Amino acid sequence: MTVQYYYTGLFALSFVLTIIYAAQWHRSFDLHLTLVFFLIPIVNLAYALMYASQDVDAAVAMLKIVYVGGCFLPWVTAMCVLGLCRINVNRALRVATLTASGLVFCSVLTIGRCPLFYRSMTIEKVGELLIHHKEYGPMHTVYYVFVSLYLIADIVAIAYSFKKKKQVSRRVLVPLFFPILFTAAGFAVNHTLIKRGYEIIPLSYALAQIVYLFICHRMALYDVSEMAVESMIQSGDVGFITVDSKCRYLGSNETARKILPALSDLIVDQTVRRSEVLRDSLVSWLDSFDRDPDKEEAIYVLADPADPSDETIYAVIVSYLYGGKKRCGYQIILEDDTKNQQYIRLLNSYNTELEREVERKTADVVDMHDKFILGMATMVESRDNSTGGHIKRTSDVVKLLIGRMQKDGTLGFTDEFCKNVIKAAPMHDLGKIAVDDVILRKPGRYTPDEYDIMKTHAAEGAHIVHRILEGTADREFAAIAENVAHYHHERWDGSGYPDGLKGEEIPIEARIMAIADVYDALVSKRVYKDSMSFEQADEIILGSMGTQFDPSLEPYYSAARPALEEYYSGTDR
C-alpha cells in the first residue's frame, strides 16, 4: 500500500502543479513549457496504474504510456531550455531530433512483442508489494544515450548563456539547472530503488514542475518588459527602459542604451542602484517619481564630447509598469525634446518666433504619433504571411471612398471626421498581434477552430487601441479608431462578428472600413488564392450590398470604382 500511496501522491502533486500553471498561464509562455506540464501528470498517472496492476499485459500498456514522457519530455525540455536561453534552433534540427525521439518511442511499442526494447518483463508479488523485473534490449541503451545527449545539451546551453548572454536573466538560468539535476539523479539511482517497487523518475518530474513554476512567475515580468520594448520604435529618438518594483533591470531598447551607455554593462536582474554611473540619472528619476508620481517630467541633457555646445535634451517620462492589473515595476521613456526645450529657453526674447516653432513642433508630434501608429500596424502585418501591403492599400481605399463622400456632402461628414477615419484605417487589424504565429502565418486556409481564434482579433484590437489612445486629448479620433478595429467585420444583416451588430448599429466608420477591407482581399493575391479581376470583385461587392455592406454606401463605392481600379493597377498586389 505504501508504494501505491507514493505513486498516487506523485500523480496528485503533478496534477495540482499543472492546475497552478494553468492559473498563471500567459499566451506568451513557451509552448514547450506548456507541454511539460501537460505530459508529466499523464506519465505519473501511468506510473500509478502500472504499479497497481497485477497483470503483465496491463502493466506493459501503462509502461508504454510512461515512455511517452521518457522519450519526448527530454526533447520538450531541451527546446524549452533553449528558448529561455534565447538560443535559436533551426527547423531542420528541431524536426530531426523530434523524429529521433519518435523512433525511439516506436521501439518502446514493441515491448511484449519482440526483444528490441525489453527482452522480457515479469511481475513478482512479494507480500503486498509488486516488483517489476525487466530485462533490457539494445534500444534501451540507445534510449539512455538520447536522454544523456539531451541533458548535456541543456547544460551546455545554460552555461553558455550564463557566460555570454547578459540579456538573459540569471534568476531564470540558475533554476534551470535543477530539473536537469533531478532527472540525472533519477536515472542514476532508479535501478537501486526499483527493486523495492519505487521509481525515482516520477518524483524528479514533479520536482521539475515546481522549479518551472518559479521560472514562470519570473517570466511574467520579462514578458511585460518585452512586449513594451517591442512596441516602441527600435530606432529613432525614443528610448525605453524597464525595471521591476525592486529597481532590478529588466531591459531597454537600443536608443536608450545609446543615451545611457552604462545600460549596456548591466546584467538583467542587477539592481540599477549599484551603478554609480546611473546614480545621477536613472536612479534619481526613479526616486523622484516615488516621492511624487504627479511631478512634471525631468530633463536629461546629453552633450556631444567633441562639441559640448551641441547638446540633445531628452524629456524623461517615468510611469508604472503593469502586468495585467498588478503594478510590477517602472517604465522610463526618453524622448528627444531638444527643440521644445530650446523654445522654452527663448520664450521671453522670441515670443513671436516661438509661436511659429510651437506650431511646427505640434505638427512634428502629430506626425510622429501617426507614424508610430502606422509602425505598430506594419509590425503586426509583418507577422502575417498572407497580407503583405494590406495596411497601406486599405488605408488608401478608405481615403478614396471618403473623398467621394466628401464631394457628395449629403452624409454631413465633417472634415475632422473624415481625416480621423483615414488616420484610423491602419489600426483596424492591430488585434492580430494577439493571434498565435502558428495560425497567423499559416500558408493556407484556416480550419473552423483556427478561424474562431482568428476572429478574436477584432475585439482584441479594440482593446489594444483603447489602451494605446487612452487619455489622449483627441477623444473623437480615439473613439473612431476603436470602432474601426472592433466592428470592421460586422455585417449589415447581423451575421458578422464579434458582436453580431446589424444595420445602423454598426458605426459608419466601421461600415466604410469593411468595404475597403473586403475589396482589398478580393483583388489582392494571398497565399491561399490568386487575385480576382476587378469585374469579379465589383460583382461580389455590389451583390453584398444590403447583406454584408451598408447599401447607402453603394453610390460612393461605384463612384470610386474607376479610381480604385487605377490605383490597384499600379500596385504590387
Q: What is the pLDDT of residue 391?
A: 83
Report the share of the chain in percent with pLDDT over 90: 26
Q: What is the pLDDT of residues 136-149, one digit of tens each?
A: 889 988 888 888 89
Report the share of the chain in percent with pLDDT over 70: 83
Under DSSP, the state recorded for 33 is: H
Short-list 380, 385, 422, 378, CA closest to 400: 422
Q: What is the pLDDT of residues 6-44, one digit of tens each?
A: 888 989 999 999 999 888 877 667 788 888 899 999 999
**CATH class of the domain defined by 232-345:** alpha beta
Q: What is the pLDDT of residues 322-360, one digit of tens each?
A: 766 678 899 998 988 888 877 776 665 656 665 677 677
Q: What is the pLDDT of residues 99-115, one digit of tens each?
A: 999 999 999 898 888 88
Q: What is the pLDDT of residue 233?
A: 45
Q: What predicted TM-score, i.e. pTM, was given to this entire model?
A: 0.44
Short-list 530, 514, 510, CA closest to 522: 530
The answer to whether the beta carbons of residues 257 and 173 sit under 8 Å apart is: no
Q: Give me the residue spans of the domains in the chain.
A: 2-215, 232-345, 365-569
Q: What is the pLDDT of residue 358?
A: 64
Question: Looking at residues 486-513, what average pLDDT do you find?
Answer: 94
The answer to whether the beta carbons of residues 425 and 393 sit under 8 Å apart is: no
Question: Looking at residues 424-450, what average pLDDT do you find?
Answer: 83
DSSP 401-416: HHHHHHHH-TT---HH
- Indicate the angle between helix axes 31-52 and 201-231, nearest 10 degrees: 170
DSSP 310-352: EEEEEEEEEEEEEETTEEEEEEEEEEE-HHHHHHHHTTTT-HH
Q: What is the pLDDT of residues 527-572, one digit of tens each?
A: 667 889 999 999 999 999 999 999 999 999 999 999 999 998 877 6
The answer to whether the beta carbons of residues 469 and 420 sit under 8 Å apart is: no
Protein fold of 2-215: Rhopdopsin 7-helix transmembrane proteins (1.20.1070)
219: confidence class by pLDDT, cuts 50, 70, 90: low
The SS3 of residue 74 is: helix
List the grid coordinates of 147.
Answer: 536522454
pLDDT value at 385 more than 60: no
**CATH class of the domain defined by 365-569:** mainly alpha
